[in-house]
Amino acid sequence: MSEAATTTTMPGPDADAAAPAAAAPAARRGASARSIASYLQAAPLALILFVFLLIPIVTIVVVSFWDYDFARIIPDFVLTNYREALGSSVTWRTYLNTLRYAAIVWALTAVIGFTVAYFLAFYIRSATMQMVLFLICTVPFLTSNIIRMISWIPFLGRNGLLNSALIHIGIVDEPLEFLLFSDFAVILAMVHLYTLFMVAPVFNTLMRIDRSVVEAARDAGASGWQTLWNVIIPLAKPGIAIGSIFVVTLVMGDFITVRFMSGGQSASVGLMMANQISLLQYPAAAANAVILLITVLIIVAAIIRLVDIRKEL
């Protein structure tokens, strides 16, 4: 489990493979037997990803050019799905709304996630305590997202705890209506669900910062803030970048949180796709899926361009 906590640390695929290269030719037969072993060992993973990731993506791309009527999908090569998706102002507004969610949730999870990880990494001295507190943060990640969403109802509802408390204290006279089934609820739930994806990689990077660098900054006369801003945050960037990739891709593809927490009043790309799927308009959903995938890849590429995450991989 402690290893599980550090999922983002890993050697590159060929980081530690160079050692036996100097072996004598006599060892070559053994080497080729070993490389066959490598292929056999990697084969199940390659096969599963080929069948359940690559083929499905190719299928989506192909189907996005197909035609459909109310009952079936028809193999064809038409651009109508893309024309309808890109030509509709609803699509653009939905994309903008989804990007807005992504930006807000990213900013909140980055600040909260960094603060929590920073506290754990630099202010908790015993390694056991660090692990225990980190596990406390990780456990909700292993429970159901849907139940964690449902659990906001008694809290945010019209007669929920928050409204009762606000009325009791006298801050408001009437229950606030915007707490549940609103953009506010969507963002709150997303931060609730996804902050862990920021905490884990940032914590992992922070733990690997050489403590003597921090000491040196302090010895050189840097204040706590200066050390944090000029030393620790720059060194934590790869972890923040990995967390950002997780959070942004999760928010961009989300539909269940938006559907449930907005009570059907807000739209997201994933929700638009889910609606098309439920109407059996698979080619339209597929075209949207391709556009979504391209958008997500562009964002990820931009993040990787800004921050070199390879030394983390």
Partner 1 sequence: MLQEGRRGPAFWLLGGFFVLFVLFLYGPLSTIVLLSFQGPDGGLTFPMNGVSLNWFRNLFEKQAVGDFGGSFLRSLILGLMVMVTTVLVSLLAGLAFRRRFRGATFLFYLTVASLIVPSILVSLGVGLGFQIAGLPPAWYSSAFGAQLTWTLPFGLLIMFAVFNRFNRSYEEAARDLGASSWQTFSNVVLPIILPSLIGVGLFGFTLSYDEFARTLMTSGTFNTLPLEIYGMTTNVTTPVLYALGTLTTLFSFLIILAVLATILILRARRARRAAA
Choice from 238, 239, 243, 270 touching partner 1 (CB under 8 A)? 270
Which one of 147, 170, 171, 219 is in contact with partner 1 (CB under 8 A)? 147
Residue 134 C-beta: closest distance to partner 1, Å? 11
Minimum CB–partner distance for residue 87 and partner 1 (Å): 22
Distance from first CA to last CA of the chain, Å, rounded? 19
Nearest Cα neighbor of 257 from 192, 196, 200 is 192
- Here the tokens at position 173 are 């006279």
Specify the stretch interacting with partner 1 by CB under 8 A; choose among 80-88, 100-108, 166-174, 288-296. 288-296
Bridge partners, 73 (sequence order): 68
Residue choice 90, 107, 127, 146 for contact with partner 1 (CB under 8 A): 146
Q: Determine how many CB atoms are found less than 10 A away from the CB of residue 81.
A: 25
What would the x/- binding string for partner 1 be over residues 173 to 212, using CB under 8 A? -------------------x--x---------------x-
Does position 8 bind partner 1 by CB under 8 A? yes
CA angle, 117 then 179 then 276, to 5°: 90
Stretch that binds partner 1, among 78-86, 87-95, 101-109, 159-167 (CB under 8 A): 159-167
Nearer to partner 1, 56 or 87 (CB): 56
The one among 27, 90, 103, 154 contacting partner 1 by CB under 8 A: 154
Measure the CA–CA gap between 283 and 65, rounded to whole angstroms. Answer: 7
User: Using the rule CB under 8 A, which residue among 255, 258, 261, 281 binds partner 1?
Assistant: 255
Q: Which range, of 76-84, 85-93, 166-174, 272-280, touches partner 1 by CB under 8 A?
A: 272-280
Q: Quick one: 71 or 136, whose CB is closer to partner 1?
A: 136
Q: Which of 22, 26, 39, 89 binds partner 1 (CB under 8 A)?
A: 39
Encoded one letter per residue, x for contact with partner 1 by CB under 8 A and - for no contact, window 223-252 reads -x--xx----------------xx--xx-x
Nearest distance in Å: CB 179, partner 1: 12
In contact, 258 and 268? CB cutoff 8 Å: yes
Site mask, partner 1, residues 117-136, x = CB under 8 A?
Answer: -xxx-xx---------x-xx
Q: Which of residues 72-111 bind partner 1 (CB under 8 A)?
A: none
Task: Give me the least distance between CB of 291 and partner 1, in Å please.
Answer: 11
Structure tokens at 119: 């506290």
Quickly count: other Cβ atoms within 10 Å of residue 43's Cβ.
10
* Distance from C-alpha of 80 to C-alpha of 86, rounded to nearest angstrom: 10
